């Protein structure tokens, strides 16, 4: 466990260091989002700390302080900002510090549970490699930012771990908190109900409770139970919320973007497309492996569990139905089987190469994010 904690500390210090030198690499701060002056700069912290509250972070801080007083912020689910507000009583009213503490503490606990989970099913070696691939994923800095990623990862891993331990009721309760944190939390319900027995009704009935609480609140307060969905068009980078776009159509759209753009727009589109293809390819290979006796590609005899793959595939595919891959490099973070799949690769040179490339991309993405340029 100490190794996991050491890895987390190294990861956290390294990202703070990258954020600290980011103005040297990119002198011009992008500032392509509102409220950064009053909610970040006035926090009293240096740039390398408050920059991890960029973009969506300012909205979570605003909700934590003032509730859903700002139009269209209903797109952000309430669990995380509620926790920020509660923690602010400990941090003497500093909401930025509250958010960072919650995100980083939650991610650390999630990382420890993830390590323990993978070690019990596979081996300590696979568990350590899985943690390395997780920490060096190009958008892993979101785990330590004022985003829901750190908290949501803890909830998802805890739900699956408790389900593995056959504590289905507790896993379902944790899942209900996940559905109060993000819409993706709902996808735990079908994933944990695959056995089709009487106990499978427990996650189906309990996990959506958190989501339904938020929907009921939106109905009472704004007379629009689906306000979080209609607001997506404002925050969602041209997301289609009144129809469905199939994945081949989305891929075709991105090929046209790559053929007609340049600069940061081109880089973002390429990043979104490649990361989506990379994640789906690994998950589909693992899905095929789960029904095959061929184990030549992996060093472990243990296959990826079906419920993990179902959750990950749904979590990745559903956002693409809005017609865009925007934020997909961040959404992929929760698809934890990816890291286990990579950890099981036999070829050490390939694993080291993936870690190296991923770390370089992580530092580049962190630099851009810290300087106010949208990455994912």
Handedness of CA 208, 209, 213, 219 (dihedral sign): positive
Q: Are 113 and 161 in contact, with CB atoms under 8 Å apart? A: yes
| Three-state secondary-structure class, residue 279 | helix
What is the structure's pLDDT at 199? 80
Per DSSP, helices labelled H in the chain are 2-25, 36-39, 47-50, 56-66, 79-88, 95-121, 124-135, 149-164, 168-181, 188-191, 201-206, 208-222, 227-230, 232-235, 247-260, 263-289, 306-320, 328-331, 337-343, 348-370
What is the distance between the alpha carbons of residues 80 and 76, in angstroms, rounded to a whole number? 9
What is the distance between the alpha carbons of residues 27 and 261, in angstroms, rounded to a whole number? 24
Q: Are 316 and 335 in contact, with CB atoms under 8 Å apart? A: yes
Q: Are 140 and 363 in contact, with CB atoms under 8 Å apart? A: no
Domain residue extents for the chain = 2-370
What residues are paired with 345 via a beta bridge?
298
Q: How many CB atoms lie within 10 A of CB 121?
A: 17
What is the structure's pLDDT at 241? 67
Long-range contacts of residues 283-290, Cβ cutoff 8 Å, at least 24 apart: 283/309, 283/312, 283/313, 283/316, 283/335, 283/337, 283/338, 283/341, 285/341, 286/337, 286/341, 287/313
Q: What are phi and psi of 298, to 5 degrees?
A: -125, 150
- In the structure encoding, which two tokens stand for residue 188, read together? 């735990």
CA R_g for the chain: 20
What is the structure's pLDDT at 298? 45
What is the structure's pLDDT at 154? 98
What is the distance between the alpha carbons of residues 188 and 186, in angstroms, rounded to a whole number? 5
What is the distance between the alpha carbons of residues 278 and 150, in angstroms, rounded to a whole number? 22
Q: Return the closest-CA partner of residue 30 out of 3, 51, 7, 56.
A: 51
Q: Are 88 and 186 in contact, with CB atoms under 8 Å apart? A: no
Residue 120 half-sphere exposure, CB side, CA atoms within 13 Å? Answer: 11
The residue assigned the tokens 């961040």 is 330
What is the distance between the alpha carbons of residues 74 and 232, in angstroms, rounded to a whole number? 9
The one-digit pLDDT tens for each residue of the chain (376 residues) are 899 999 999 999 999 999 999 999 999 998 777 888 888 988 889 999 999 999 999 999 999 999 999 888 999 999 999 999 999 999 999 999 999 999 999 999 999 999 999 999 999 999 999 999 999 999 999 999 999 999 999 999 999 999 999 999 999 999 999 999 999 999 999 999 987 677 889 999 999 999 999 999 999 999 999 999 888 767 656 677 667 889 999 999 999 999 999 998 999 999 999 999 999 999 999 988 877 655 444 444 478 999 999 999 999 999 999 899 999 999 999 999 999 999 999 999 999 999 999 999 999 999 999 999 998 8
DSSP assignment of 174-227:
HHHHHHHH-GGGGGHHHHTTTT-SGGGHHHHHHTHHHHHHHHHHHHHHHS-TTH
What is the distance between the alpha carbons of residues 29 and 41, in angstroms, rounded to a whole number? 13
Residue 158, classified by CB atoms within 10 Å of its CB into exposed (0-12), middle (13-18) or buried (19+), is buried
Name the packing angle between helices 168-181 and 208-222 (round to 10°): 30
């Amino acid at each position: 466990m100490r190794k996991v904690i050491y890895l987390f500390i190294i990861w956290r210090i390294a990202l703070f260091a990258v954020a600290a030198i980011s103005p040297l690499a990119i002198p011009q701060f992008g500032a392509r989002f509102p409220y950064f002056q009053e909610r970040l700069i006035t926090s009293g912290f240096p740039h390398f700390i408050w920059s991890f509250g960029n973009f969506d972070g300012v909205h979570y801080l605003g909700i934590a302080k003032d509730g859903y007083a700002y139009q269209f912020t209903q797109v952000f689910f309430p669990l995380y900002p509620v926790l920020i507000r509660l923690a602010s009583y400990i941090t003497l009213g500093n909401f930025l510090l509250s958010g960072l503490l919650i995100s980083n503490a939650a991610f650390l606990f999630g990382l420890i549970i993830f390590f323990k989970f993978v070690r019990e099913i596979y081996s300590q070696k696979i568990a350590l490699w899985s943690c390395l691939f997780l920490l060096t994923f190009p958008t892993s800095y979101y785990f330590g930012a004022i985003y829901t990623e750190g908290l949501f990862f803890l909830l998802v891993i805890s739900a699956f771990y408790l389900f593995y331990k056959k504590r289905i009721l507790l896993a379902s309760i944790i899942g209900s908190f996940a559905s109060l944190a993000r819409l993706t939390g709902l996808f735990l319900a079908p994933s944990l109900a695959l056995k089709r027995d009487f106990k499978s009704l427990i996650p189906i009935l309990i996990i959506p409770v958190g989501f339904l609480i938020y929907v009921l609140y939106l109905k009472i307060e704004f007379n629009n139970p689906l306000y979080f969905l209609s607001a997506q068009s404002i925050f969602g980078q041209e997301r289609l919320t009144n129809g469905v776009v199939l994945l081949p159509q989305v891929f075709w759209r991105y090929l046209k973007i790559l053929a007609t753009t340049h600069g940061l727009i081109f880089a973002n589109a390429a990043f979104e497309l490649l990361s989506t293809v990379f994640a789906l390819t690994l998950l589909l290979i693992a899905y095929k492996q789960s029904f095959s006796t061929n184990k030549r590609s992996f060093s472990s005899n243990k296959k990826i569990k079906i419920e993990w793959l179902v959750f990950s595939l749904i979590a990745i595919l559903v956002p693409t139905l809005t017609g865009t891959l925007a934020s997909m490099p961040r959404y992929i973070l929760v698809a934890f089987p990816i890291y286990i799949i990579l950890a099981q690769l036999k070829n050490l040179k390939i694993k080291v190469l993936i870690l190296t490339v991923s770390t370089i991309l992580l530092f580049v993405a962190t630099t851009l994010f810290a300087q106010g340029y949208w990455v994912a």
